């Protein structure tokens, strides 16, 4: 009974993480009315770095600190996965729509699989290749619809969001090396510090547009920092410790659905039929990739007759 209850809580935690992360696009779109995209990142991740610093210092059993070489790699991964990625995301959301972002981001796990194939020569089963192709077609439909409705700016925003996917894939590959021997709390802390520093420098490009955000904007910025940058990470890792990583990734595919709903409810955006079709195709492609991934994880359990642990 306790095991079942623990699994239910784990599933709820990952679903909550997907909900929180998906809302960041719609919330960012709201804040952009008062704050520039680079300044949003600077404020968001500086607050998050401060919170994580307090959490790291208050831990009773702190993990091993990385040496100088590993710390440099972690900082680099933070600049790539936080500064570079969120610059592309925030500018992309400013030019496009939150709903476009939510649907395009559904292709990111498959972009990561492709990069891993190129770098590590990982075998790509036919079902997974089919999932990649489906997700690519869906992303094309979303981008094409954005160009028809919003013109060249929205099209450029969609392209930047797709480039953000490639950057995120590169971050995942680098983080596999940078995070060896480090627990998730320390790794995230050092990455966030580097990412915040990068954003503080980048935000100087908007210095001529700086102005004091309103009360609502500050509340939304606090939400992005506390809920999306810190809370989502903690929720996801709570669930990940209690289920296989493939199951957690599968649940995270709810994020595009939540994201579109958030764009409609928060931003009042309208969804066109090509976007709905493109989103459905993206989700179908992602599901195909996850199904194959789950199959790969489960096969060793049949041969070895042993429980399968988490792969990530």
pLDDT in tens, the chain (312 residues): 477 777 788 888 888 988 888 888 778 888 988 899 999 999 999 999 999 999 988 887 766 777 888 888 999 989 998 899 989 988 888 888 777 776 777 777 777 777 777 776 766 667 667 766 776 677 667 656 655 555 667 788 888 988 988 898 888 778 777 777 777 788 889 999 999 999 999 999 999 888 888 889 999 999 999 999 898 877 877 776 677 554 566 566 677 667 666 667 766 777 777 777 777 887 777 677 656 444 444 444 333 333 333 332
Q: Which of 102, 108, 157 is nearest to 135 (CA)?
A: 108
pLDDT at 299: 46
Half-sphere exposure (CA, 13 Å, Cβ side) for 251? 23
Asked if 146 contacts 158 with a C-beta cutoff of 8 angstroms, the reply is: yes
Rg for the chain (alpha carbons), in Å?
A: 19
Phi, psi of 241 (to 5 degrees): -70, -15
pLDDT at 200: 95
121: alpha, beta or left? (left if phi > 0; alpha if psi -120 to 50): left
How many angstroms separate the CA atoms of 93 and 26, rounded? 9
pLDDT at 300: 41
Q: Which of 204, 188, 177 is nearest to 87 (CA)?
A: 204
The structure's pTM equals: 0.71
């Amino acid at each position: 009974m306790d095991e079942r209850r623990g699994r239910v809580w784990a599933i709820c935690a990952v679903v909550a993480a997907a909900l929180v992360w998906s809302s960041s696009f719609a919330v960012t779109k709201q804040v952009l009315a008062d704050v520039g995209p680079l300044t949003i990142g600077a404020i968001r991740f500086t607050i998050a770095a401060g919170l994580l610093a307090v959490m790291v210092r208050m831990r009773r059993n702190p993990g091993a600190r990385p040496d100088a070489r590993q710390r440099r790699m972690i900082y680099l991964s933070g600049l790539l996965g936080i500064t570079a990625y969120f610059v592309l995301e925030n500018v992309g959301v400013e030019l496009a729509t939150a709903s476009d972002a939510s649907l395009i981001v559904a292709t990111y796990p498959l972009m990561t699989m492709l990069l891993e194939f190129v770098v590590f020569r990982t075998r790509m089963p036919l079902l997974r290749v089919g999932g990649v192709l489906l997700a690519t077609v869906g992303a094309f439909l979303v981008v094409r619809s954005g160009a028809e409705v919003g013109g060249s700016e929205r099209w450029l925003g969609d392209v930047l969001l797709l480039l953000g996917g490639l950057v995120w894939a590169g971050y995942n590959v680098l983080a596999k090396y940078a995070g060896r021997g480090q627990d998730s709390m320390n790794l995230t802390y050092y990455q966030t510090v580097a990412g915040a520093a990068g954003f503080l420098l980048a935000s100087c490009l908007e210095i001529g547009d700086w102005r004091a955000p309103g009360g609502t904007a500050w509340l939304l910025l606090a939400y992005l920092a506390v809920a999306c940058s810190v809370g989502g990470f903690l929720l996801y890792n709570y669930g990940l410790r209690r289920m296989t990583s493939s199951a957690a990734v599968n649940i995270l595919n709810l994020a595009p659905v939540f994201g579109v709903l958030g764009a409609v409810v928060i931003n009042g955006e309208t969804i066109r039929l090509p976007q709905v079709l493109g989103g459905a195709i993206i989700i179908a492609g992602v599901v195909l990739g996850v199904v194959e991934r789950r199959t790969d994880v489960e096969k060793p359990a049949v041969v070895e007759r042993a429980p399968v642990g988490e792969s990530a």
